[in-house]
């Protein structure tokens, strides 16, 4: 857990967020133990903005990963840390690949201040075909 939080903190340093000033880092652990990190990447046109969580998921899936255990998210405005919750779009992406009753979403404000939720708790009625 500590290592994942540190990796998310490092990923946050790469965030490109000149419009909101809110920088986010994520560390996604796959079933095989591999970790993919991500940061938010904003855009002048706003809607193309990609959240840190989706950056991590798309990196992982594009490398052939399909099974995931947990994701750590850190972020905040400027230097502050506020343990952001994933947005609805990111939760829907998680629902595409993760087991809702086991996949863990770890929102970290620091190494010792974490909130852990199952995907099922965060998105009880996700869309599926
Ligand atoms: N953002 C994330 O990257 N992940 C979250 O969990 C919440 C929001 C980003 C999107 C945008 O660049 C900035 O934070 C403010 O919404």
Instruction: State the pLDDT at residue 57.
Output: 98
Burial 9-38 (b: 16+ CB within 10 A, else e): bebbeebebeeeebbbbbbbbbeeeebbbb
Distance 91 CA to ligand 1 centre (A): 13
Q: Which atom of ligand 1 is nearest to the CA of 42?
A: 12
Mean pLDDT of 27-34: 98
Answer whether residue 110 shows pLDDT above 90: no
CA 81 to CA 75: how far, in whole Å? 5
Cα angle 85, 75, 78 (rounded to 5 degrees) comes to: 135
Confidence of residue 79 (pLDDT cuts 50, 70, 90): confident
Q: Judge whether 76 and 60 are in contact, CB under 8 Å.
A: no
pLDDT in tens, 9-22: 999 999 999 999 99
Residue numbers annotated as active site: 53
Per-residue confidence (pLDDT) for residue 91, from 0 to 100: 98
Q: Mean pLDDT throughout 12-33?
A: 98
- Closest residue by Cα to atom 5, ligand 1, is 86
Q: Find the 77 Cα to ligand 1 centroid distance in Å.
A: 10
């Amino acid at each position: 857990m500590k290592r994942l939080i540190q990796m998310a903190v490092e990923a946050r340093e790469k965030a490109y967020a000149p419009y909101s000033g809110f920088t986010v880092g994520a560390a996604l652990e796959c079933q095989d133990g591999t970790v993919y990190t991500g940061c938010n990447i904003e855009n002048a046109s706003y809607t193309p903005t990609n959240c840190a969580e989706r950056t991590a998921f798309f990196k992982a899936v594009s490398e052939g990963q399909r099974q995931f255990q947990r994701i750590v998210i850190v972020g905040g405005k400027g230097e502050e840390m506020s343990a952001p919750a994933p947005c609805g779009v990111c939760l829907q992406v998680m629902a595409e690949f993760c087991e809702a009753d086991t996949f863990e979403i770890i929102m970290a404000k620091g190494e010792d201040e974490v909130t852990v939720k199952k995907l099922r708790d965060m998105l009880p009625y996700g869309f599926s075909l």
